[in-house]
């Protein structure tokens, strides 16, 4: 029988439970046996609730040994048992002890109708996902078809599977669907289903990770790809922190794809009309197109190709959403799988906007910021507009919306600020680089007439005025490198000057300005490298007789500024080349 006391009398026990001090708690229990099951907080929590919530596993395990099975069913004001608290804290060993003593705990719901499994998934965050992984695996291992009442069907089951997927536990979600196939198609009260949650999580798939890799610098991408190769060739290195992270990411992609295929396999068991209605009454494809979850769109089209014509979100097609959100993979898929793509491009919305009006609008911030530099962002926007224009009928390119504006007019209005930012970015870059190129040109021009060692100054000699070290190989290296540095730096100055005097029309950002900047940066980099070579050769000439070994350290030290410039400016150069020449995001 529980004796009601003033809560202040339980302060020592509450403190011991919160701190995991089993010794002090044990002494308190010996003096107050009823305290084991007593409410010790204003929120109807027992000592076991407090200890489990504070993630003190050993304390909780010892206390469970002293409690009868029915005492483990005591609930706090939120209707939570100690197992709920243990599930939230991720203390697996304590949860095992509780379930072994009272198996009914895993099916007890709190006041929101959540079983411990749902609570463990629902309160998972990025900082606790690794801790909760083992807890989720344990709780899922307890699931059976004999559970009554079952939480694995209807809206309750949909809430469970959606929460588990949203928390990123794809392997656990797959095991639940293997046991209860109906979970693949169940919908919540809000009409949300498992496939829609998968569609929202583009980062769970390889296509989403590819977008993250593209937004990284060239050096980061090289490191990422190198580490991926290490993971594949040398599994022993998985324990290394950076490599382990990549291995976990690759495992997540595999698990997410397996779960997606299993869900789609279950959906495919419906009739064609049922499948079409299922997607029509959900946001699966619109979310997939919006988030750029390419794999979800592919799997959905495989089970029902007629989804190509599906309209949603105010009579928008998947193609229109992909264009508006700048999802090139889905755009390429739509254009490549059906010759009737141009028919979709003829559709208009309530404001009489065509697909050309949609692409003319400024890209969403996340997609726009995935490209570095306002000028490159403007270039990418122009590339999108040109590509959509290619699939639009000639008679539709001048189509006007209800505001009496064509797609080109909308594009100009929407990108006015971006053009100004691109112009400023180009001019600032050109000014900075031109200053460096001018300094190089000045230095190497002067060096050509003040050669190392000087000239022969004998008026009676036929060699008067000829450099003293003319016949030395190192002098020829100096002369050639100095000349190359001069010519390339002058070329660079001219390129940057042409950028400063450009008219900065919209079309200039597509090819003209990027090409000029590419040539300017290439010649600037070359002039810096050749200037360093000329300096090193000159220093070697001057010090060569006294310090014969000086050439080696000079060569090594000379690499430092060149490498530093490459690390700081070369990424911009590579990005410009990729965007202008190498990278064709609309390969079809």
Burial class (CB in 10 A: 0-12, 13-18, 19+), 428: exposed
Task: Examine the pLDDT at 4 and tell me if it is beyond 90.
Answer: no
pLDDT for the residue numbered 544: 62
Q: CA-CA distance, 155 to 187, in Å (whole number)?
A: 6
Instruction: Find tokens 């992270």 and name the residue.
Output: 245
Which of 223-227, 426-430, 529-533 is the least confident region?
223-227
Whether the pTM exceeds 0.85: the reply is no
Q: Two tokens at 163?
A: 């929460």
pLDDT for the residue numbered 214: 47
Q: CA-CA distance, 109 to 158, in Å (whole number)?
A: 16
Contacts of 393 (CB under 8 A, 6+ apart): 342, 345, 346
Which tens digits make up the pLDDT trace of 65-99? 999 999 999 999 999 999 999 999 999 999 999 99
Task: Please give the distance of CA 94 from its chain centroid, rounded to a whole number.
Answer: 36
Q: CA-CA distance, 46 to 39, in Å (whole number)?
A: 5
Longest dimension (CA), the chain: 125
Burial class (CB in 10 A: 0-12, 13-18, 19+), 412: middle
Task: Examine the pLDDT at 174 and tell me if it is beyond 60.
Answer: yes
User: How many CA within 13 A on the CB side of residue 433?
Assistant: 38
Q: DSSP string spanning 368-379?
A: HTTSSSHHHHHH
Q: Two tokens at 424?
A: 């400023």
Q: Which residue, 387, 405, 372, 411, is CA-closest to 514?
A: 372
Burial class (CB in 10 A: 0-12, 13-18, 19+), 584: exposed
Q: CA-CA distance, 515 to 522, in Å (whole number)?
A: 10
Q: CA-CA distance, 173 to 546, in Å (whole number)?
A: 75
Q: Which residue, 88, 26, 14, 102, is CA-closest to 58?
A: 26
Give the start-end residues of each E strand in 398-553: none
Q: CA-CA distance, 65 to 28, in Å (whole number)?
A: 16
**Contact 409/356 with Cβ under 8 angstroms?**
no
pLDDT for the residue numbered 219: 47
pLDDT for the residue numbered 165: 95
Which tens digits make up the pLDDT trace of 430-454? 999 999 999 999 999 988 878 776 6
Task: Please give the distance of CA 208 from its chain centroid, rounded to a whole number.
Answer: 6
Q: CA-CA distance, 526 to 543, in Å (whole number)?
A: 26
How far does the chain reach from its first CA to its final CA, in angstroms? Answer: 76
Which tens digits make up the pLDDT trace of 116-141? 999 999 888 776 677 888 999 999 99
Q: Which residue, 551, 561, 552, is CA-closest to 530?
A: 561
Q: DSSP string spanning 373-442?
A: SHHHHHHHHHHHHHHHHHTS-GGGTT---TTS--HHHHHHHHTHHHHHHHHHHHHHHHHHHHHHHHHHHH
What backbone phi and psi angles, to 5 degrees, belong to 114?
-100, 130
Give the count of beta carbons closer than 10 Å to the beta carbon of residue 369.
11
Q: CA-CA distance, 534 to 526, in Å (whole number)?
A: 12
CA angle 475–480–481, rounded 5-degree value: 95
**Contact 500/431 with Cβ under 8 angstroms?**
yes
Task: Examine the pLDDT at 340 and tell me if it is beyond 50.
Answer: yes
Q: CA-CA distance, 354 to 392, in Å (whole number)?
A: 9
Task: Give helix 22-31 / helix 11-19 axis angle, nearest 10°.
Answer: 150
Task: Please give the distance of CA 205 from its chain centroid, rounded to a whole number.
Answer: 10
pLDDT for the residue numbered 437: 94
CA angle 23–28–33, rounded 5-degree value: 125
pLDDT bin (cut points 50, 70, 90) of residue 180 is very high
Q: Tell me the C-alpha to C-alpha distance, in Å, between residue 377 and each of 210, 371, 508, 576.
A: 18, 6, 13, 11
Task: Examine the pLDDT at 218 and tell me if it is beyond 80.
Answer: no
**Contact 143/117 with Cβ under 8 angstroms?**
yes
Q: CA-CA distance, 180 to 160, in Å (whole number)?
A: 12
If you count them, how many residues does the chain have? 588
Task: Examine the pLDDT at 26 and tell me if it is beyond 80.
Answer: yes
Backbone dihedral region for residue 454 (phi beyond 0: left; psi -120 to 50: alpha; all else: beta): left
**Contact 116/84 with Cβ under 8 angstroms?**
yes
Q: CA-CA distance, 490 to 385, in Å (whole number)?
A: 36
CA angle 228–170–85, rounded 5-degree value: 120
Which tens digits make up the pLDDT trace of 559-583? 777 777 777 777 778 888 888 887 5
Instruction: Find tokens 């190089």 and name the residue.
Output: 440
Which tens digits make up the pLDDT trace of 393-418? 777 788 888 899 999 999 999 999 99
CA angle 568–572–575, rounded 5-degree value: 140
**Looking at the DSSP assignment, which residues form a beta bridge with residue 312?**
316
């Amino acid at each position: 029988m529980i004796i009601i006391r003033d809560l202040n009398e339980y302060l020592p026990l509450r403190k011991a439970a919160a701190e995991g001090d089993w010794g002090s708690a044990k002494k308190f229990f010996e003096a107050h046996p009823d305290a084991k099951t007593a409410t010790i907080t204003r929120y109807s929590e027992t000592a076991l609730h407090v200890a489990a919530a504070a993630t003190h596993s050993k304390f909780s395990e010892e206390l469970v040994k002293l409690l009868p099975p029915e005492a483990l069913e005591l609930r706090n004001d939120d209707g939570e048992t100690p197992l709920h608290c243990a599930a939230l804290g991720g203390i697996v060993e304590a949860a095992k002890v509780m379930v072994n003593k009272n198996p009914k705990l895993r099916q007890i719901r709190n006041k929101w109708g959540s079983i411990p499994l749902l609570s463990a998934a629902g309160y998972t965050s990025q900082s606790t996902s690794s801790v909760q992984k083992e807890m989720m695996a344990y709780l899922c291992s307890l699931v059976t078809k004999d559970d009554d009442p079952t939480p694995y069907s209807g809206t309750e089951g949909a809430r469970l599977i959606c929460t588990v997927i949203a928390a990123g536990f794809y392997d656990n979600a797959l095991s639940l669907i293997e046991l209860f196939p109906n979970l693949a198609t169940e919908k919540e009260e809000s009409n949300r289903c498992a496939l829609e949650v998968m569609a929202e999580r583009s980062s769970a798939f390889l296509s989403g990770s590819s977008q993250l890799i593209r937004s990284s610098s060239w050096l980061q991408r090289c490191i990422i790809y190198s580490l991926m190769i290490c993971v594949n060739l040398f599994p022993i290195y998985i324990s290394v922190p950076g490599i382990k992270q990549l291995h976990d990411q690759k495992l997540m992609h595999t698990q997410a794809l397996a779960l997606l295929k299993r869900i789609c396999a279950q959906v495919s068991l419906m009739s064609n009309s049922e499948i079409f209605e299922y997607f029509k009454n959900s946001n699966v494809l619109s979310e997939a197109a919006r988030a750029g979850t390419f794999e979800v769109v592919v799997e959905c089209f495989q089970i029902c190709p007629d989804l190509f014509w599906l309209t949603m979100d105010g009579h928008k097609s998947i193609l229109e959403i992909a264009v508006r959100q700048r999802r090139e993979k889905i755009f390429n898929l739509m254009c490549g799988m059906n010759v009737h793509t141009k028919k979709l491009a003829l559709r208009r919305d309530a404001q009489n906007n065509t697909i050309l009006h949609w692409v003319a609008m400024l890209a969403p911030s996340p997609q726009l910021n995935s490209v570095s530099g306002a000028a490159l962002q403007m270039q990418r926007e122009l590339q999108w507009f040109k590509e959509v224009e290619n699939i639009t009928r000639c008679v539709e390119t001048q189509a006007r919306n209800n505001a009496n504006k064509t797609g080109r007019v909308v594009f100009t209005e929407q990108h006015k600020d971006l053009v100004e930012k691109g112009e400023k970015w180009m001019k600032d870059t050109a000014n900075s680089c031109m200053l460096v190129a001018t300094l190089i040109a000045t230095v190497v021009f002067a060096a050509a007439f003040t050669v190392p060692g000087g000239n022969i100054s004998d008026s009676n000699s036929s060699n008067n005025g000829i450099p003293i070290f003319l016949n030395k190989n190192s002098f020829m290296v100096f002369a050639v490198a100095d000349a190359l540095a001069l010519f390339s730096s002058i070329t660079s100055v001219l390129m940057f000057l042409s950028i400063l005097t450009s008219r900065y029309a919209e079309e200039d950002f597509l090819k003209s300005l990027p090409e000029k900047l590419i040539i300017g940066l290439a010649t600037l980099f070359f002039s810096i490298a050749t200037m360093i070579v000329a300096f090193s050769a000159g220093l070697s000439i001057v010090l060569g007789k006294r310090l014969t070994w000086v050439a080696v350290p000079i060569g090594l030290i000379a690499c430092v500024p060149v490498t530093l410039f490459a690390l700081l400016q070369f990424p911009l150069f590579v990005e410009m080349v990729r965007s202008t020449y190498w990278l064709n995001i609309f390969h079809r």
